[in-house]
């Protein structure tokens, strides 16, 4: 993969200031680009068809190819998972299908272009996003098609995680708050009761019909509410993966999602992780 090129400087009050040294981590990458009839102009006077092209081709030096969007999406998913502090073994199983070498190579690449930092002097496998990485992630989210859906507040998701080990009432309050915040996403996991059965369901919008409706794509039944809620807490902590898991259910069927989730849960070390 190509190495990240040094960004051109921008003149501010007659003084050259490197792009990434101003507002890095606060604004999306590319905030300095100027829109014009030919696209987006960078500091070197080059014009790009999109902000993503300016980043992918102009900044990283990759060729302009038809499969670039899928690489943008992969980068978005990986960096979202890193930002959420999702454990490496689980990311490896969910995003890379258990391919450890590809997962490690991708982390090495992200570190080489300055997107992730080291957790200690030598280890960057557990490191988080750098300021530059946060800016690039904001850009990828803002330019995603379809538009990146707003996730619940991090404090709400953190409260769900903190509810593990608390009494049943405290955990229920945290889950209700999460359910209120998550709203009507395109793909939505939810708790339901059906007679004496306790369910976790996944619904999604069916947009092919004249009137879009929500349809159940997957469900899992439990003998008691606690077991169901244990799974729902695990799912809530991974809300950033719901759309991708929903696509698995709709494209490959419910059994494919069940198999995928089982492999991810095992890879993560169980529902307690």
CA 158 to each of CA 84, 161, 176, 197, 219: distance values in angstroms, whole numbers, following the listed order: 10, 5, 14, 28, 25
List, for residues 193-246, the tens digit of each pLDDT value. Answer: 988 899 999 998 766 656 667 788 999 999 999 999 999 999 998 988 898 899
Choose among 264, 207, 241: nearest CA to 77.
241
Q: Is 168 helix (H, G, I), strand (E, B) or coil?
A: helix
Give me the pLDDT at residue 21, please: 58
pTM, two decimals, is: 0.63
Which backbone phi and psi does 36 adopt, to 5 degrees? Answer: -150, 175
17-22 mean pLDDT: 49
- Whole-number Å distance between alpha carbons of 76 and 240: 11
Give me the pLDDT at residue 8, please: 47
16-24 mean pLDDT: 52
Give me the pLDDT at residue 5, please: 46
Lowest mean pLDDT segment, chosen from 27-36, 138-147, 197-206, 243-252: 138-147
- The residue ranges of every structural domain in the chain are 9-142, 154-268
End-to-end CA distance of the chain: 33
CA angle 79–135–179, rounded 5-degree value: 60
Q: Which residue has the higher pLDDT, 241 or 162?
A: 241
Question: If pLDDT is split at 50, 70 and 90, which confidence band does 61 have?
Answer: very high
Q: Which residue has the higher pLDDT, 245 or 270?
A: 245
Give me the pLDDT at residue 169, please: 87
Give me the pLDDT at residue 7, please: 47
20-42 mean pLDDT: 81
Lowest mean pLDDT segment, chosen from 15-24, 169-178, 253-262: 15-24
Residue whose entry in the numeric block shows the structure tokens 């708050």: 177
Q: Whole-number mean pLDDT of the chain?
A: 81
- 86-110 burial: b if 16+ Cβ within 10 Å, else e: bebbbbbbbbbeeeeeebeebbebb
Lowest mean pLDDT segment, chosen from 29-33, 43-47, 60-64, 266-270: 266-270
17-44 mean pLDDT: 77
Sequence-separated (6 or more) residues with CB below 8 Å from residue 205? 186, 212, 213, 214, 215
Neighbours of 227 (CB within 10 A): 15
Give me the pLDDT at residue 230, please: 92
pLDDT over 90 percentage in the chain: 33
- Whole-number Å distance between alpha carbons of 144 and 99: 26
**Alpha helices of 84-210 — where are they, by DSSP H?**
88-95, 100-112, 131-142, 154-162, 168-182
CA angle 71–86–234, rounded 5-degree value: 115
Which backbone phi and psi does 187 adopt, to 5 degrees? Answer: -125, 125
Omega of the bond prior to 146 within 30 degrees of 0, cis? Answer: yes
């Amino acid at each position: 993969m190509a190495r990240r090129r040094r960004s051109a400087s921008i003149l501010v009050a007659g003084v050259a200031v490197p792009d990434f040294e101003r507002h890095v981590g606060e604004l999306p990458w590319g905030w300095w680009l100027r829109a014009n009839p030919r696209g987006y102009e960078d500091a070197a006077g080059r014009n790009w068809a999109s902000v993503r092209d300016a980043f992918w081709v102009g900044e990283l030096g990759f060729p302009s190819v038809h499969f670039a969007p899928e690489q943008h999406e992969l980068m978005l998913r990986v960096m979202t998972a890193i930002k959420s502090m999702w454990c490496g073994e689980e990311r490896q199983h969910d995003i890379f299908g258990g391919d450890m070498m590809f997962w490690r190579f991708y982390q090495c690449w992200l570190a080489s272009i300055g997107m992730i930092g080291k957790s200690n002097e030598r280890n960057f496998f557990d490191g988080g996003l750098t300021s530059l990485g946060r800016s690039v992630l904001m850009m990828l989210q803002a330019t995603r098609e379809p538009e990146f859906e707003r996730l619940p507040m991090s404090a709400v998701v953190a409260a769900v995680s903190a509810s593990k080990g608390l009494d049943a009432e405290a955990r229920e309050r945290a889950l209700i708050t999460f359910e209120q915040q998550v709203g009507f996403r395109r793909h939505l996991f939810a708790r339901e009761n059906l007679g004496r059965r306790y369910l976790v369901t996944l619904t999604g919008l069916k947009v092919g019909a004249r009137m879009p409706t929500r349809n159940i794509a997957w469900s899992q039944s439990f003998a008691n509410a606690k077991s169901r809620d244990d799974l729902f807490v695990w799912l809530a902590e991974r809300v950033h993966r719901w759309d991708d898991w929903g696509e698995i259910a709709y494209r490959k069927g419910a059994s494919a999602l069940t198999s995928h989730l089982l492999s991810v849960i095992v890879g993560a070390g169980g529902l307690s992780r």
